[in-house]
Structure 1
């Protein structure tokens, strides 16, 4: 990703805005010789952002205070709110079911799910909260689920985000301790959000400079896990990933930098984002790039009303919460970029913070709010566009210090430097490299495997991107289906992973003609063919394969991955001449052989091989092909 440049269509909107401002000020601009036709401003259909509060446990016959909150940027006269019971064994009586902040009573013990729904002029949204009515005041959740506890500060503050500090210490069932900050969620509300990784009784306590938060304590019980947890580096095969429960994870990534925004002129909002997530989940994607700190609003407003003054807007982050929850529900891990180093003319980037203390405070806030989810973190996008290495290392170390979940952490280079390998040996860095690289795709993955961590090319192509709207694709490896397919296979056949993208979706429609559109027919061919890559690898124990290219000889482009002589993956293109795979076996061995069509995702059986020296593999055409060999007498 490079700095934002206005497109012709955005320039038209800028001209219109300037014209309107000049009329307001009582002057009229001189007509331009090549004036553009009048732009049409898109109407904004605001959607409420709803938070139902936080889970609570209360004794029977007691009422509970519900700390609901609704942010609505439309006309307040159009807003209606409603509480209702979704499930629970008894009757729920609300003191006023038409306001977000109310009380409720329960007729009998049990677990109740309450919903707060808000309806604006055209759109509605809702959020749910669990209330357990139980003589034993102890919340119960599954391991690898999310424990959430809410609190109310007692002091009076102009800016709670900067003035209040609160740290929770959690004690595991084995007696070990972990720490995580609480995060401010608007008004006087603070939340502790944590994902316990083992079963048993957990205890927590809080230290804070606010009397209402300080010395709060409690416990909760965890039952067997009901999900796989977050992703982490596979300790046995460190170029690859697993879920927390040990299930292998083949990283299949897409890009949507504006995933948490609302941009009416591009038809990007919560509904279109959910449609995008649904589509990518159906296509098998399990990892999506996204930027948290954006120049754009969402349904809750801006991330910070004024970043230089650190006036954080909880409504924005509540909307981010809802989208991350939806991603996780669909089996997708968002890679959360905390910020770009320098985002063009934006006032929402690392450069815009008033000082390093403010940057560290923001990093702690993000860890507190999001590390309990199935997420990963990138310290900075294009870090070398602003600041120095020590600044970002300081931020990364703060993230590690306040993330008890030990989520993956990376950093991302600008286009002038394709690599971040200078960070590869740092303890906080989860990756050997997290490249933005458009050339030597295969070789530059191989170079970084020596660090014994995963290698990802995070930006190598955006299919059919036309940022200048001149009818010409302006991103490398992106102009044709063959280009982007070849580039993707070049990466995975080196033992790396890729994060792909489409011009119509990767930047919310901003850098492509037309608006945000996950259903654009021009995307269909790559959407189909990219799925054939994980299809092949997930049919094998892919995490056991390593590059072994000295054993394959021939013409054209060809690569080899091997699993200790038990299985081989051979990729070839640009030749019809046979390849020779050296076996280096002193005894007779037998292999089954299949040829895989990476365009159609189809396997075809070839005759088995029995011999000692080498196997000859014949590509049927000069197109790209993959041979899969499996030893029959291991």
Structure 2
């Protein structure tokens, strides 16, 4: 492609436009060549970093969010890559393409087109490192699961049950010979991109973990310069995918070589170089037991570059307090795992996993699933993907359907009793969960002067029963004396 000729393209809204140019291959193009583009629409200008994709290919990607005509021009320290101009017409998106997910109404999420998004996620840390056959099995499982977000790592993982070497790595080199931290492996990154596209086709958000401590290769202890080099490259390659979320780290506080100021710097780098401002979070390991205000080891999710809190904690009771503290969406991304692993965090029951979900959402937050069943070939969902074996996923899917039928859940003025988790949208809608308790009845204090229908939900059996009559003010509701019951209360218009 000759430089300086005028090019014309058409791209659908929130799809990826990609411009590829041929350039030099001598020296180290990852380091020596600077390449970017400036995209303009009326009074809006977006600076987009490009990247080297190997074999003399230089690429810049752009996700247009505004319909109409855009112009662009490349910039580079290499003449043949500099000053390439063109136009881009952004046309309406295909059905089902609702754009990237962003924060909505302070504590919740919505797609860019305004459609509410309720995250019901799962965790498969190292699934992209397992080889094609197992990765395809994972995708088939996800397609049947009802999960719409997945926590996943860029770097491979070293931990119990995680001893195999992946086929490729983000950087050139090998475990035997070491790594060239000035050169990336484009084949690895193309594979990662293929998997993000696969998730996009399934309607699943990729909550991409950029760093983690479970490492035997040296990726968790790279120099500050290499950390920044890696982050800039990741953003340049991946930010134009609409289904990306940035998770700076899984259990960041176990990465002793990095300071709090390093994490601040990483957040600001993402904020500066991501033109689309995808969601940004960071995930903890320490979880104090006394009170949320004693979270001395936690990153301050109230900082302006954090979009939502990603929390590891087993007690969902604190969700309303975390909402109050951070004034942002609360996602409990790790509340332990359904399974039979030899670690305490990896052997809760399906009933307990489901209880975490119901408690989290009825208190105004969101929860992420995980599964750790021992497997003869060490194929464990939490890290490798494969097949889901637990009993909670179908019941989580049932809960997701219920939540998507109603408004976002917030703490409510209606005083539900101490042993129930309840929230809703005053005075129209309430969802009350009784957990493992076995109440025979409850007296509810509903708003006076309003009339309600009440449904009794068996969260384990996944049944919904409409109760007879109408309810208002102080009223008694009979319950079956079974665990895991809930009530859905809707105002009669």
What TM-score, normalized by structure 1, do the two folds share?
0.69
Closer, same or farther: CA 337–304 of 1 in aligned 2, 3 Å:
farther
Aligned to 1:347: 218
Note if 1:260 corresponds to 2:128.
Answer: yes
Aligned to 1:315: 187
Aligned to 1:72: none
Aligned to 1:502: 371
Query: In structure 2, the residue corresponding to 1:201 is in which secondary structure?
Result: strand
Aligned to 1:403: 274
Q: Which digits, 9 at most, give the CA deviation of each residue in 1:304-325, with x for residues without a partner?
A: 4254633311111111111111
| In structure 1, distance between residues paired with 2:364 and 2:298 | 16
Residue 575 of structure 1 and its aligned partner are, at CA, apart by 2.8
Aligned to 2:300: 423
| In structure 2, distance between residues paired with 1:137 and 1:179 | 18
After superposition, residues 532-543 of structure 1 pair within 5 angstroms as: 532-541=398-407, 543=408
Q: Match for 2:261 among 387, 390, 395? A: 390
Aligned to 1:286: 148
Q: Which digits, 9 at most, give the CA deviation of each residue in 1:250-297, with x for residues without a partner?
A: 1010011112213xxxxxx22321221232232211100000122576
Q: Which digits, 9 at most, give the CA deviation of each residue in 1:352-394, with x for residues without a partner?
A: x2x3222112111111111111210011222222211110111
Residue 577 of structure 1 and its aligned partner are, at CA, apart by 3.7
Closer, same or farther: CA 404–302 of 1 in aligned 2, 3 Å:
closer
Query: In structure 1, the residue corresponding to 2:64 is in which secondary structure?
Result: coil
Query: In structure 2, the residue corresponding to 1:398 is in which secondary structure?
Result: helix
Note if 1:435 corresponds to 2:311.
Answer: yes
Residue 584 of structure 1 and its aligned partner are, at CA, apart by 4.2
Larger Rg: 1
| In structure 2, distance between residues paired with 1:568 and 1:550 | 9
8 Å CA contact 1:297–1:303 kept in 2: the answer is no
8 Å CA contact 1:57–1:137 kept in 2: the answer is no
Residue segments in structure 2 that go unaligned for 5+ positions in a row? 158-163, 290-294
Q: Number of paired residues?
A: 469
Q: Match for 1:331 among 203, 210, 216? A: 203
Q: Which digits, 9 at most, give the CA deviation of each residue in 1:499-544, with x for residues without a partner?
A: 11111599x946689x956336xx2422222222212211212x1x
Q: Which moved more, 1:590-599 or 1:212-221?
A: 212-221
Q: Which digits, 9 at most, give the CA deviation of each residue in 1:175-222, with x for residues without a partner?
A: 311112101111211111111001111112222222222222222111
After superposition, residues 68-147 of structure 1 pair within 5 angstroms as: 137-147=7-17
Residue 476 of structure 1 and its aligned partner are, at CA, apart by 3.5
| In structure 1, distance between residues paired with 2:122 and 2:378 | 15
After superposition, residues 479-494 of structure 1 pair within 5 angstroms as: 479-494=348-363
8 Å CA contact 1:154–1:211 kept in 2: the answer is no
| In structure 1, distance between residues paired with 2:288 and 2:184 | 32
| In structure 2, distance between residues paired with 1:152 and 1:465 | 53
Q: Which digits, 9 at most, give the CA deviation of each residue in 1:394-444, with x for residues without a partner?
A: 11111111111110011111246696864322221011x211112x22224
Q: Which moved more, 1:476-485 or 1:448-457?
A: 476-485
8 Å CA contact 1:154–1:188 kept in 2: the answer is yes
| In structure 2, distance between residues paired with 1:628 and 1:416 | 32
Note if 1:455 corresponds to 2:326.
Answer: no
Closer, same or farther: CA 564–424 of 1 in aligned 2, 3 Å:
same
8 Å CA contact 1:162–1:310 kept in 2: the answer is yes
With CA pairs under 8 Å and 6+ residues apart, which has the higher RCO, 1 or 2?
Answer: 2
Closer, same or farther: CA 453–301 of 1 in aligned 2, 3 Å:
closer
Q: CA RMSD in A?
A: 2.8
Closer, same or farther: CA 297–213 of 1 in aligned 2, 3 Å:
farther
| In structure 2, distance between residues paired with 1:510 and 1:209 | 47
Aligned to 1:274: 136
Query: In structure 2, the residue corresponding to 1:429 is in which secondary structure?
Result: coil
Q: Match for 2:66 among 174, 198, 204? A: 198
Query: In structure 1, the residue corresponding to 2:391 is in which secondary structure?
Result: helix
Closer, same or farther: CA 167–335 of 1 in aligned 2, 3 Å:
same
| In structure 1, distance between residues paired with 2:62 and 2:268 | 19
Note if 1:188 corresponds to 2:56.
Answer: yes
Residue 498 of structure 1 and its aligned partner are, at CA, apart by 0.9
Closer, same or farther: CA 600–537 of 1 in aligned 2, 3 Å:
same
| In structure 2, distance between residues paired with 1:297 and 1:171 | 44
8 Å CA contact 2:152–2:207 kept in 1: the answer is yes
8 Å CA contact 1:140–1:220 kept in 2: the answer is yes
After superposition, residues 46-85 of structure 1 pair within 5 angstroms as: none
Aligned to 1:564: 426
| In structure 1, distance between residues paired with 2:53 and 2:25 | 15
8 Å CA contact 2:339–2:346 kept in 1: the answer is no
| In structure 2, distance between residues paired with 1:314 and 1:566 | 53
8 Å CA contact 1:298–1:319 kept in 2: the answer is no
Aligned to 1:111: none
| In structure 2, distance between residues paired with 1:167 and 1:136 | 17
Aligned to 1:552: 416
Closer, same or farther: CA 344–415 of 1 in aligned 2, 3 Å:
farther
| In structure 1, distance between residues paired with 2:272 and 2:98 | 24
What TM-score, normalized by structure 2, do the two folds share?
0.88
Aligned to 1:52: none
